[in-house]
Structure 1
């Protein structure tokens, strides 16, 4: 088996087993620490939202109603426009979803490019993958999505966002260790989003575009 195929298979197995694991019960923070975490999250969102040009490279595993796959993801955001490239080495399939205020286009599917007003619907119809791309551009950075309605947040012992409930989805976060934090804000290393039978698991290998920001969220609420 080629090494690239083996890496993807191992990744999928790790993500699936982790997703199936029982999530540990998270005790709520004491009121004072909860208030501090909420305030720090608001400050973080205020700092990150103005960063309109950024990109990530990573690995993704998606499952929905018996359909699924895994592979590479490259996301480039330029203001309200974005381009997401998905590639699955095992099946040798790849797609490129681009979207903006004027609509969306999906390339790399059988029958030729498709276009329409809803990027998520285009991807679902072509691949069976339910990826909430409209909200994911915020969720992937650990932000509440401005277009997904009311949100409820849960924070871990460090004061970082641990779980987000929004738009019918539940998003769990894993953050890099303090030793791994580079200059700029700390961004999620992994997220696991689920709604019913749909699940999206994303591991980020590389972030670009946020380096000039100072991270005001590194301290824990107790500091």
Structure 2
């Protein structure tokens, strides 16, 4: 039991620090919250969290080992993930400035699209595989029971949902959305440029290591 508690106390702060650091997931979620409202942002948050769950289960069964053994697969994932972020960035850059009354109506994004975007943005990030793979390799030993491992995965999953729901709720509030409406064109271009730059960096890392 002590091993399980020590494991959680070691991993939870690390995971929280990594989760709250800015990245493609947070940029995508904040843009969705500002432009499409709370409901769609919640769906994007759930997609991101489900992606986290998939990566954790994958790390548990050795996806990171597979990627290390098959460099071509890791290379392809980086290129695909980078391309997807570039695609999202270009779409944001080209998006029309929102008109009064447009907020909360989805801004052209269906409910399924918002969930799918969050999920794909997370699943196409090989850094997630490296992160969870390294965490599991560093902390998990034969002494850790399966029950403790299962509890840890679900706690990290719930933590991911909680954090991204907080972001979705906060940035869909009128205090944030009203200024966004006035400057939506500029903000979309900045967010689009950030996503595209992250995509270029990710795709380039496939070639330069």
TM-score range, shorter chain: under 0.3
Greater share of residues in strand = 1
- What TM-score does the superposition give when structure 2 sets the normalisation length? 0.24
- The structure richer in helix per residue is 2
Identify which of structures 1 and 2 has the higher relative contact order when contacts are C-alpha pairs closer than 8 Å and 6+ apart. 2
